[in-house]
Structure 1
């Protein structure tokens, strides 16, 4: 499931400070639903309109999960801006998530 927050006619890679996020979850588990809600709240509060979020259910896309060599879930991978970062858990510690994503208040 892809949830772009920018208009369709813009090139997200051309935009400075644009975040490309992939969140790997396990179905509709409690930790997965919390991680999705927490991440959406953080993105809309701190980087509205400057991110794309793809939510990947490892039960439905096993080959993608294997390719990423996932160890723990939920897992957030920040692809852009570089450097790539990986954050594990339900993403409930906002300060830790902001620091991990390189977002300053």
Structure 2
């Protein structure tokens, strides 16, 4: 896998400091440090503080992770505890090799 030439811009939408929001952020940080070290940025948007920002990315549930760059834009809803699903969703790892 050649992610060296890519930079990942990730946006995590949460609603306050709930256990799911905290878990999602911790899981995301762990995956990024393992697989994207040095080539990612995470922006956390708390919709309790900035509800108007949900419309731009069409956020219907929280927590939701949005991969802005590289395209295509992808969304993953939930606490991001399923590492394989997150890595495939972010195009970090292609479909599971059997």
Q: Same fold (TM over 0.5)?
A: yes
Identify which of 71, 76, 89 aligns with 2:78: 89
The 3-state SS of whatever aligns with 2:12 is strand
Give the structure 1 partner of residue 51 of structure 2. Answer: 62
Q: Given the two structures, how large is their TM-score scaled by the length of structure 1?
A: 0.82
Say yes or no: does 1:16 pair with 2:5: yes
Displacement, 1:67?
2.9
Identify which of 6, 31, 50 aligns with 2:39: 50
For structure 2, the residue ranges without an aligned partner over 5 or more in a row are none
Q: Distance in 1 between matches of 2:84 and 2:48?
A: 30
Displacement, 1:68?
2.5
Displacement, 1:47?
0.4
Q: Distance in 1 between matches of 2:45 and 2:21?
A: 10
Give the structure 2 partner of residue 30 of structure 1. Answer: 19
User: How many positions carry a matched residue from both structures?
Assistant: 91
Give the structure 2 partner of residue 102 of structure 1. Answer: 91
Displacement, 1:35?
0.2
Q: Over aligned residues, Cα RMSD in angstroms? A: 1.4
After the TM superposition, which parts of structure 1 deviate over 2 Å for at least 4 consecutive aligned residues? Answer: 66-69
Q: Given the two structures, how large is their TM-score scaled by the length of structure 2?
A: 0.87
